């Protein structure tokens, strides 16, 4: 894929998920060089932050000409101070691509060597060691991006062929040369929101998967109870003017189009009415977790689409400081590196993913509780009641995991703590928000895996294999390849992990 100007999230998917290689367009390289040459000339005899001044609250200190290059190395090394778990390779790759793209806009004054080396790291699957903890998201991802910069100057560590190795060793193996600081390469690499954005892009991709899975499982459970179709109808959902709700209902209708189990109200409850009936044998309408799926998943879809728009805007923006403007022949000082946009979206995304998880947990409870569904044995137990346990054990896992996501859904966006000698007196906590959002997403896959197995067991018990929709039948067949129909009690955790892996690959 040739990189030139605007990157869409689907481009990230091709590069991060599908491992497509990237090329640098000549116009991009020309734009980067013009910015670099302009800054080199413009910075002579002028006070420009981060070029000939200290950083943060020490910006009032002038740096002598002979120390300006060493200043950048000092910044990178001193801020390579992260700790905790390393970020997953896919998130680091997304971060590098986001950084390459924003530096390529020509607003940062970096040397072309930075762009070339980022390209090589991405194409060769060399993943810098970047830790989860460190950034407060104000000057962007200072600490995490320092670890990226550390690798670009040939220091620190990387993951290479599945092993954690020194950057120096890997560069020697691959014949790569570290960058040399020319003007402000250290600050340009570190100022920005590329880590929180990179994690956010991966989060959005997985949240899309979750939304589709939740929708399919919700369709299946409606089939199991032979629900009426009017709560999915275009007529009903069209009276609510929300795009997400209407889209979810439309997708559910498509999934259920060939189902032999979904019923029409006019063929059952509207055909007769006996005056003497005091208690209706058939349920007039379903529990909310079955009937209100468009209204519950609709906001998830709407939130996700807006989050994707914000992420796309961010990765195609200059999020550096100062901003080099070749056209105006000027250098502007400001705060484009502040991460509030991403922080807020990660909070919103984790909230809706938690709600999606809660929906799955309630649907699961409906299936497992024979007193409320009235069609299945307790815990969808296909064995001997009292002697076997069915899905009883895994419900604890689903409930516990959902509870954790509910707790994690408290906002990071509003948890600003001043630091940096109060220079950074209000911060975004954007990377923390993105990392916690990722945890909530992983939790959702686990709960949905448990729900999926339960649904398949329910289809088995009812003998509905040939009556469910083709969409549900595909799900049934795929999961049956992983876990056989069981009546005897089994050790469940290996199957849970395999079904979770299957769902993540959908």
**Count of Cβ atoms closer than 10 Å to residue 225 Cβ:** 22
Residue 65 carries which DSSP code? Answer: G
As a whole number of Å, the end-to-end CA separation of the chain is: 24
Pick from 101, 121, 126, 125: nearest CA to 31: 101
- From the candidates 49, 73, 287, 502, give the one annotated as an active-site residue: 49
- H helices of 225-339, in order, are 234-237, 243-255, 288-291, 293-315
Phi and psi (nearest 5°) for 24?
-105, 125
Distance CA 134, CA 148 (A): 13
Phi and psi (nearest 5°) for 137?
75, 25
Question: What H or E segment, with its residue span, contains residue 331?
Answer: strand 330-332
Pick from 131, 162, 172: nearest CA to 148: 131
496 token code pair? 């849970």
Distance CA 56, CA 54 (A): 7
Q: Does the active-site annotation cover 49?
A: yes
Q: Which residues contact 132 (CB under 8 A, 6 or more apart)?
A: 82, 84, 85, 86, 87, 431, 435
Catalytic residues: 49
């Amino acid at each position: 894929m040739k990189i030139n100007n605007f990157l869409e999230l689907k481009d990230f998917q091709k590069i991060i998920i599908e491992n497509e290689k990237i090329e640098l367009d000549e116009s991009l390289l020309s734009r980067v060089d013009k910015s670099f040459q302009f800054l080199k000339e413009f910075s002579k005899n002028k006070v420009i932050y981060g070029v000939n001044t200290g950083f943060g609250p020490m910006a009032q200190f002038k740096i002598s000409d002979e120390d300006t290059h060493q200043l950048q190395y000092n910044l990178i090394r001193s801020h390579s101070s992260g700790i905790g778990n390393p970020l997953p390779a896919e998130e680091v790759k997304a971060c590098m691509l986001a950084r390459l793209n924003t530096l390529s806009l020509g607003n940062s004054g970096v040397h072309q060597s930075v762009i070339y080396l980022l390209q090589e790291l991405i194409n060769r699957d060399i993943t810098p060691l970047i830790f989860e903890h460190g950034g407060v998201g104000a000057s962007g991802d200072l600490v995490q991006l320092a670890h990226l910069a550390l690798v670009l100057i040939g220091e620190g560590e990387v993951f290479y062929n599945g092993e954690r190795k020194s950057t120096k060793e890997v560069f020697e193996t691959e014949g790569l040369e570290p960058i040399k600081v020319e003007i402000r390469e250290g600050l340009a690499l570190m100022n920005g929101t590329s880590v929180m954005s990179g994690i956010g892009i991966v989060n959005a991709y997985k949240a899309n998967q979750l939304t589709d899975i939740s929708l399919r499982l919700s369709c299946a459970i409606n089939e199991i109870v032979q629900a009426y179709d009017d709560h999915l109808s275009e007529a009903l959902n069209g009276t609510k003017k929300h795009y997400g709700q209407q889209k979810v209902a439309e997708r559910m209708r498509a999934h259920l189009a060939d189902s032999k189990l979904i019923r029409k109200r006019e063929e059952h409850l509207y055909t007769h009415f006996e005056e003497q009936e005091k208690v209706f044998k058939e349920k007039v309408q379903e529990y909310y977790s079955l009937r209100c799926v468009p209204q519950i998943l609709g906001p998830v879809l709407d939130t996700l689409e807006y989050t994707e728009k914000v992420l796309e805007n961010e990765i195609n923006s200059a999020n550096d400081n100062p901003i080099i403007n070749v056209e105006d022949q000027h250098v502007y000082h400001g705060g484009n590196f502040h991460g509030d946009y991403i922080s807020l979206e990660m909070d919103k995304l984790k909230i809706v993913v938690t709600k999606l998880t809660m929906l799955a947990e309630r649907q699961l409870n409906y299936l497992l509780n024979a007193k409320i569904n009235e069609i299945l044995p307790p815990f969808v137990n296909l064995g001997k009641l009292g002697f076997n346990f069915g899905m009883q054990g895994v419900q604890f896992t689903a409930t516990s995991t959902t509870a954790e996501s509910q707790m994690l859904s408290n906002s990071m966006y509003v948890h600003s703590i001043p630091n940096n000698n109060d220079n950074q007196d209000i911060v975004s906590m954007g990377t923390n928000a993105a990392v916690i959002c990722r945890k909530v997403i992983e939790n959702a896959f686990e709960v949905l895996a448990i729900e999926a197995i339960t649904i398949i067991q329910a289809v088995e018990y009812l003998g509905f294999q040939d009556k469910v929709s083709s969409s549900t039948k595909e799900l049934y067949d795929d999961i049956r390849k992983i876990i056989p129909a069981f009546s005897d009690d089994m050790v469940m955790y290996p199957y849970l992990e395999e079904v979770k892996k299957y769902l993540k690959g959908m």
